[in-house]
Structure 1
C-alpha cells in the first residue's frame, strides 16, 4: 500500500520468508545479552517500530467458500474454525490467530465470506464489514469468477477489476483507518495436474458443473480441452494483475505480491469431499503463505518509520 511501500518495494517485501516467531521476537525484544550475561541495549540500527499488526484489535474476512472454510473439516459445508483468515483451529493458525500471538491478545473476528460469491457480489458483504469497522479487512475472492458452468461465461478481467476496485474504494472511503490485505487467487489449474491419476477426483469433478470451465473433461488431452484449461489459468493471472493494480490505488491496501497464487499444494492439502477446496492442512498452508506476505509488508513499513 502506498503508505507502506511502493509497488516494487511491496513485491520485494512479500517475497521475504521469515518464520513468524522469529519476526515477532525481532520486533518485540528491545535488548540483548552481553557475553557476561548482563543485559545491554540493542544497537539502534536493529531497533524498529512495531508493525501496525500489533494494534489490530478486530479482523473481518470477505470472500467466497475458501475463506468460509468449506469442506475443510472433512465433511460437506462451511467450517469457520478452519478458515485461513479468521479460524480458531490451532492446526491452521489463521491470520487472526497469528495476530493474537504477535500482539498478545486475540482480535475480534468477523467472517463474512459466503460460498459461491463472485467479485461483483462482494458488495453484499460490505455493509456488515463497515458496521463492524475492523482494524484489518482480509479479502480472497475470484475463484468463482474463473470457475463457471462454461468458459463462455467466465468473468472478464476488466469487469473483475472494476468490481474489486469498487470494494476497495468503499472500504477506504468508509473506513479510512482500516488496513486492507487482499491476496492473489490460487493457481486452480494445478488441481488438474495434482489429481491427474485420481479416479475418485475425476468422478467427483464429472458432477461439478459449477466449475466445468476448468474441470470438465479433466483427463482429456484434446487441444480444445488443453487450451480451455490454459485459458482459465491465464484469466486468473489477469485477475491477479487487476487486484494488484486496484490495491495500489488505495492508501492502506496491501497485496500479497502473488504469494498465494505461487503456492504449490499437495494432495493432502485438498479436501477429499470435492477435490477442490483446501483441507484443514491446505487452509494452514494458505494461512502461512498469506501471513508471511502480510508480516513482511508490515515490517517493511514499520522499519521505515512511516504511518501505516
Structure 2
C-alpha cells in the first residue's frame, strides 16, 4: 500500500490546499478509531500469502513492530484499548468509501483514517481510471456523511503512494516484473515494465498525474471539512520507498517495514494530540 521528480511540487500543492489548519490546537485522544480505504490499510500481504493482516496495518494495527496510529494513541491514554476497527477492504475504490463511513458512524468512531484511491488508478488501462471530478465528489459525499453522523470526529487523510516510484524501483527486478505481469498488477502503470517507448513512458506519466490530482482533490476536500480533518501534506506520496518496503508476495503492497514507515510518516503529519500523561 508507494522518482521524486515533481514530488516536491506535489507536496507544496497539498500543503497549500490544507492551509494553516495543520497548526490547530491539540486534540483530545479519541476513544474509538476506524481505518477506511483499501488493501493498504488492511495490511494486505504484510504477513502472509494474499491475505489481509490487520494487526500490521499502519492505521489500526496492534503489532508493536509497526507502531500504528492505534498503538501510539493508546499509549497516550489507554482509551482506545480494543477499540481499533478496520472497515477498509482490499480492492476498494473511492466508490466504496461512503459505505465504510456509514459503518464508522454506526460504530461511533471519533477518529477515522482514510487512504483510498490507489485502486481508482490501478486498473487495466489508463482509460479505466476514475475521473478526478468523480473521485472528489465521492470524497465529499463520504465526509459529509461523517460530519452528519459524527460531527466531532477527527479525520486523517493519507496521500496515495507514488505508483511510478514503484515502477522505477522494481522494473529492473525479474521477480517484480514476473509478479506484475502474471498477476496483472496495476497494469495502468506497470504494464510493459521494461519498455522505454514513448507511448509507455507517456502512459506512466499520465497515471502518475492522475494520482497527484487525486491527492490534491482529497486534500481540498479535507480542507473544506474544516479543522477536524488533516491531510499528510503529500508525505506518503513523496516518501522515497524502496523494494525493502514492499511485500515479496506481489511487489506491490507494503510489507511490515513499509507499514511501519507509513505509520511514522502519517502520524508525524497528522493531528497534534493532547497527551494526558
TM-score, structure 1 as length reference: 0.79
> Paired residue for 1:102, among 73, 76, 81?
76
1:124 corresponds to: 99
Cα distance in 2 between the residues matched to 1:8 and 1:126: 25
Q: Does 1:231 align with 2:242?
A: no
State the superposition RMSD in angstroms: 1.9
Aligned residues: 257
Q: Does 1:172 align with 2:117?
A: no
2:57 corresponds to: 83
**Retained in 1: the 8 A contact 2:18–2:220?**
no
Q: Deviations over 1:171-202 (max 9, x none)?
A: 01111011111111111110111112200000
Q: Does 1:271 align with 2:247?
A: yes
Runs of at least 5 residues in structure 1 that lack an aligned partner in the other structure: 15-48, 303-308
After superposition, residues 1-308 of structure 1 pair within 5 angstroms as 7-10=18-21, 13=23, 51-52=26-27, 54-107=28-81, 108-251=83-226, 252-295=228-271, 298=272
**Retained in 2: the 8 A contact 1:74–1:279?**
no
Cα distance in 2 between the residues matched to 1:292 and 1:126: 24
Runs of at least 5 residues in structure 2 that lack an aligned partner in the other structure: 1-15
**Retained in 1: the 8 A contact 2:105–2:146?**
yes
Q: Deviations over 1:219-246 (max 9, x none)?
A: 1101100110111111011001100111
How far did residue 147 of structure 1 move?
0.2
Q: Deviations over 1:41-98 (max 9, x none)?
A: xxxxxxxx7x31x431110110000001100114221001000000011110000101
How far did residue 206 of structure 1 move?
0.7
How far did residue 260 of structure 1 move?
1.2
Cα distance in 1 between the residues matched to 2:166 and 2:184: 16
Q: Deviations over 1:114-164 (max 9, x none)?
A: 011110121221221111111101100000000001111111111111111
How far did residue 264 of structure 1 move?
1.5
**Retained in 1: the 8 A contact 2:246–2:252?**
yes
Cα distance in 2 between the residues matched to 1:138 and 1:214: 26
Cα distance in 1 between the residues matched to 2:109 and 2:48: 30
TM-score, structure 2 as length reference: 0.88
1:44 corresponds to: none
Cα distance in 2 between the residues matched to 1:105 and 1:173: 24
How far did residue 105 of structure 1 move?
4.3
**Retained in 2: the 8 A contact 1:60–1:137?**
yes
How far did residue 9 of structure 1 move?
1.9
Runs of 4+ off more than 4 Å: none
Cα distance in 1 between the residues matched to 2:179 and 2:151: 44
**Retained in 2: the 8 A contact 1:65–1:78?**
yes
